[in-house]
Chain A
């Protein structure tokens, strides 16, 4: 109940900030030495929240389906792409982390490229990957590949750190039990890595959403929220609230992925919730 109230208070605060700025901000934005430091507060740049809400209920095109339906449908489409990309990225990240933990030489050889991979601009890669669409995989899967490409990175780096986290006492203990690499991984390294894994998964989830949205735009995939943002932003001058409905959809997507990670975390991190120390 308290958590629900906290969420509500957070939403309310965000709405207040938005509307508050609209009320006091300069409609033309605040310009200091030729640089706009605060955005325009006019209805074209920042429509009222109730205008956005109204727009959600209104038909997309005259006589068409209401916008919320279109946005929700696009969200579901992109959610599917994101989920596939997220899972694929997480698996690739885990495998890379385990390989890097197992073999020092793999870590030395691979880690620089893992980091390098994220400095390559996504827009440069997207056309290359988009070319696979329709030939070796369906068009939507190329967007998943882009999402996975962004998602694997935090998992690989975070998980490697986690797998290397057990103290030498734990490692020596497993050796004293004559446990080999695999059993040490399963019984010690993997559970010890979980506190590192979940923050990494949260980052990966956010990255997968960004990857899916940007991927849809740069590969020209239809049907998703990324495409909707582009389409609606073209109408921004005549219908400014419309593009914000699509952005709300993208935000919802991020929340859903974050919630999925939390659902996974709660049962696995039970020991972290008991904190009271018994002293006898």
Chain B
């Protein structure tokens, strides 16, 4: 089974109008089960658009998107993926725990099970003590961790992340990267991760997909095999080699 297949997809916004924009042109992308793929490119290269196409938040102009061997729309309806955006998008009127419970609630899961699951997820992101707090009481980094816990709560086979650490400081970002890797390894989740940070992409990914702008297309796909995904990994020569390789690919 493949997690995601994007087949010859083109996305045109405002088709037929004077402000027509071709966001993506003839994009092909395959994400294998359990694979961690980063999309990287300059702003306006359509990486977020590609993520939203996989999530079926928007529809392709031409081509097909398949998620978990199903059309993307069906996969969305069957909640085959969890998603996290750059803004945490937490509901300020719900406590942290009830925010994490939201996707479970919408699946019709019972109260007790919901609570247990949410607490387990908050444990995972290290926020168990803040279950009763409101999002407004938490710092940006903590809010983002809640959003990740929420995305993971339904234990989706696929995780879609749109610059989830973009608004965080470097230290928090590195800690969350490690946490995310640990979670993905533990739950065998496939991940599509949009970022504009080269080091982040290389550190996290099995494969870095480099995109170029106007129209957005995939220009390179770089396999990354780090000896380990930890501090030692960050210091290894392979890590720096791959960063250089991605940077070169970005320059085109």
Contact = CB atoms under 8 A, between A and B. Distances in A.
A170 interface: yes
A176 B81 contact: yes
Interface in A136-181: 167, 169-170, 172-173, 175-179
A187 B103 CA distance: 11
A176 B87 CA distance: 15
Interface residues of B, number: 31
A178 B85 contact: no
B235 interface: no
Contacts of A191: 91, 93-94
Given A178-B76, A188-B91, A194-B93, A172 B139 contact: no
Contacts of B138: 277-278
A3 interface: no
Nearest to B90: A170
B136 A271 contact: yes
Nearest to B130: A278
B57 A278 contact: no
Contact of A179 (B81, B106, B137, B139): B106
B79 A177 contact: yes
Q: Which of A178, A194, A278 has the most CB of B within 10 A?
A: A178
Given A172-B85, A177-B79, A278 B91 contact: no
Interface string A176-202: 111100010001100110100000000
A280 B76 contact: no
A188 B79 CA distance: 18
Given A192-B91, A271-B93, A278-B130, 16 more contacts: A169-B85, A172-B55, A173-B83, A175-B76, A176-B82, A177-B79, A177-B103, A178-B76, A178-B77, A192-B93, A271-B95, A274-B133, A274-B136, A274-B137, A276-B137, A279-B139
Interface of B: 52, 55, 57, 76-79, 81-83, 85, 87, 89, 91-95, 102-103, 105-106, 130, 133-134, 136-139, 141-142
List the 7 shortest-distance A-B pairs measured between CB atoms, nearest first: A169-B89, A271-B134, A178-B77, A279-B139, A191-B93, A177-B106, A176-B83
Interface of A: 167, 169-170, 172-173, 175-179, 183, 187-188, 191-192, 194, 271, 274-280
